[in-house]
Amino acid sequence: MEEKVVDKNAIPRHVAIIMDGNGRWAKARGMPRMMGHRKGVEVAKEITRAAADIGIEYLTIWAFSTENWRRPPEEISGLMGLLHHTLKADLTEFHENGVRLRVLGSRKNLDQKTLELIDHAVKLTQNNTRFNLNIAFNYGGRDDIIQAARTLAKKVQEGALQPDEINEDLFSESLYTCGIPDPELLIRTSNELRISNYILWQMAYTEMVFIETYWPDFTKDDLLKAIIDYQQRDRRFGKVSSK
Ligand code: IPE
Ligand code: IPE
Ligand code: MG
């Protein structure tokens, strides 16, 4: 069979990833779950570089969900520590490479230090244009929709907006992903076939690729394969097939 190659003229602009399987990866090696998360961060950095090389413009990776607060306290603080580390140790490299960093999610329950690091990183990189890395942290799709609804309701209450003026564009602009195009492709690793409350509104027409590999084993090659898979899809958007 002829091997398929990536069509460079049809690279998705925005790829969203559910980086899943860190814990099972570690468990399979007799290591504590945190070792999986640590390796996962390394892989996330490699994949960020790979995505920029491939010509993807936006990469949204999910590092902590609104439901992950249900995990044991040691794991939660370990994951917070990894975010701190990334926002400190890797920030210069991101900045020098023209990466604009955004952190998507709720500020609720995050401590002052975490919020300061997030704000600093976002502000430092806000004018960078080479690549957009969005870290979804304390992110939940329903929370995103609720906070958008609240923002719009307040505007209506203040008399700055009429209920009839609320449309899809205005709603999209009120989400954490304001200014970011909807993802064309979602990849979830570790063979879990669910969305787990990720970017729900934004994924209305996203193509999904589920792969068996645990996130710490994910490679650039897996990313290219997922893009090839995406490129075979017939994206109809409700219309009749053009093929
Ligand atoms: C994904 O790996 C990373 C986070 C949710 C932070 P998991 O920690 O969910 O790993 P598994 O699914 O338990 O293997
Ligand atoms: C989703 O993975 C959240 C992140 C990858 C950060 P989970 O491992 O938390 O999702 P469930 O619990 O399997 O649905
Ligand atoms: Mg998981």
- Ligand 1 contact via 44 beta carbon (within 6 Å): no
Q: Which atom of ligand 1 is nearest to the CA of 18?
A: 1
Show Cβ contacts of residue 81 under 8 Å, excluding neighbours closer than 6 positions. none
Report CA(18)–ligand 3 centroid distance (Å): 9
Q: In which band, very low, low, confident or very high, does the pLDDT at 14 lie, cut at 50, 70 and 90?
A: very high
pLDDT for residue 155: 98
Residue-range domain boundaries for the chain: 11-231
pLDDT value at 237 more than 90: yes
Q: What does the pLDDT read at residue 103?
A: 98
* CB of residue 43 inside a 6 A radius of ligand 1: no
Q: Which of 2-6, 44-48, 200-204, 214-218 has the lowest mean pLDDT?
A: 2-6
How far apart (Å, rounded) are the C-alpha atoms in residues 216 and 44?
9
At residue 124, does pLDDT exceed 60? yes
Asked if residue 19 has its Cβ within 6 Å of ligand 2, the reply is yes
Q: Which residue has the tokens 């955004």?
A: 102
Q: CATH 3.40.50.720: does it fit domain 11-231? A: no
pLDDT for the residue 4 = 87
Q: CA-to-CA distance for 173 and 160, rounded, in angstroms?
A: 16
